[in-house]
Amino acid sequence: MRSAAIAIGLFMALAGSAAATEEFPSAAGPLAVTTVAEGLEHPWGLAFLPDGRMLVTERPGRLRVVDAAGQVSPPLAGVPEVYARGQGGLLDVAVDPDFAASGYVYLSYAEPGGAGGSTAVARARLAGDRLEDLQVIFRQVPKLDSGHHFGSRLVFLGDGTLIVTLGDRNMRDYISDMTSHVGKLVRINRDGSVPADNPFVGRQGYAPELYSLGHRNVQGAALNPATGEFWTVEHGARGGDEINIPRPGRNYGWPVISYGREYSGFKIGEGTEKPGLEQPVHYWDPSIAPSGMEFYTGDSFPAWRGNVFVGALKGQMLVRLTLDGDRVVGEERLLEALDERIRDVAQGPDGALYMLTDDDDGRILRVAPAR
């Protein structure tokens, strides 16, 4: 009840802020896009707490709480040091499914070390204005001197295990090394231990955390509520952005197959398909640079229930995809006139969609039907 009350309060407060609201067209009617908060430096990850407040990461290394009125907290203490180079820094944030009992939040970030850095995941208890009892529960190996392709979305599966999406760090030779986490997804328990039913447990020469492989840079991920399956969206090179449904032990092709081309224009790998390598559910060519993914289940847009929303960086829009089972059968491009790089998208407890804009002066935006 408390979460619902706060969500309603947030809606009322924002609905009255006409100066901060713009309208945009959609197939479902006009959309009201309201600025909830601004002044965030390259916000990257957004997660709702059970009481309706938002946790928001800023890539340079800050974690903030945003309340129902859009008030942004000072940076929380206790956040780990980050490798803030290129695309690296403080990245995703997720709330423990048992947060009411555990108080845990999870952060993915580029962790410095060696000659460079790698993606890591830490969990800590949220205690007022700080994080306490921080534990690093996963470290991508090896650490590499690269500021590219950290991946880094965090998604809890229905069984309570945690998927961490990772990138190839723009160093493709490591993808075929099954002792590395480069270009892979990993699945761990919430304390960082390895689930006994992971696909490569007990196989010599394979890291037991590995879940799937052949990924370039997965920056969007979500559970399909209709099936319970895990979906991802990842960056291609020059074209070839993909939506996949990663399944245990399977290879999704990068860099052997791709629907894109090198930035130089040359062909990538061996073409678009090869036996033993999985095909994407959907792909974009030219690239939209997708980041952030959400299945919509709310009441604000009844016609959009079951649709998938994907933010776009290069494309500077919000993409709505309609499904028929596991097939993408339609696409609507929304908010193109907003002219903003969309880094993350999440459904709020009030049924609206919330987005992060990737900018030096980034914003949290609320998308709801225009009243």
> pLDDT tens digits for 117-153?
999 999 999 999 999 999 999 999 999 999 999 999 9
Active-site residue identified among 42, 148, 149, 215: 149
- Indicate whether 1 pLDDT > 90: no
- Indicate whether 114 pLDDT > 90: no
DSSP label of 101: H
Closest by CA position to 132, among listed 152, 158, 157, 103 = 103
Average the pLDDT over 332-336 and give the result. Answer: 98
d(CA 117, CA 24): 41
Q: How far is CA 243 from the centre of its chain?
A: 13
So what's the pLDDT on residue 7?
A: 47
pLDDT band at 85 (very low <50, low <70, confident <90, very high): very high
d(CA 10, CA 3): 10
Closest by CA position to 185, among listed 117, 224, 138, 228 = 138
Count of CA atoms in the C-beta half-sphere (13 A) of 196: 0
User: pLDDT tens digits, residue range 184-214?
Assistant: 999 999 999 999 999 999 999 999 999 999 9
**CB neighbour burial string for 41-54, b if at least 16 within 10 angstroms, e if fewer:** ebbbbbbbbeebbb
% the chain with pLDDT above 90: 93
Cα→Cα distances 321→16, 132, 233, 328, 341, Å:
30, 39, 12, 6, 18
User: Mean pLDDT over all residues of the chain?
Assistant: 94
d(CA 144, CA 331): 37
d(CA 175, CA 289): 21
Report pTM: 0.94
User: pLDDT tens digits, residue range 216-264?
Assistant: 999 999 999 999 999 999 999 999 999 999 999 999 999 999 999 999 9
Q: To which residue do tokens 């949290």 refer?
A: 364
Q: Are 281 and 310 in contact (CB under 8 A)?
A: no
User: pLDDT tens digits, residue range 272-284?
Assistant: 999 999 999 999 9
So what's the pLDDT on residue 304?
A: 97
Cα→Cα distances 175→151, 180, 187, 213, 354, Å:
14, 7, 17, 8, 34
Active-site annotation holds for 282: no
Average the pLDDT over 48-62 and give the result. Answer: 98
Domains of the chain, earliest start first: 2-369 (2.120.10.30)
- Indicate whether 290 pLDDT > 60: yes
- Indicate whether 15 pLDDT > 60: no
Task: Please name the residues in contact with 345: beta carbons below 8 A apart, sequence gap of 6 or more.
Answer: 292, 293, 294, 309, 310, 311, 318, 353, 354, 355, 356
So what's the pLDDT on residue 163?
A: 98
Structure tokens at 18: 């006409």
- Indicate whether 368 pLDDT > 70: yes
User: 299: helix, coil or strand?
Assistant: coil
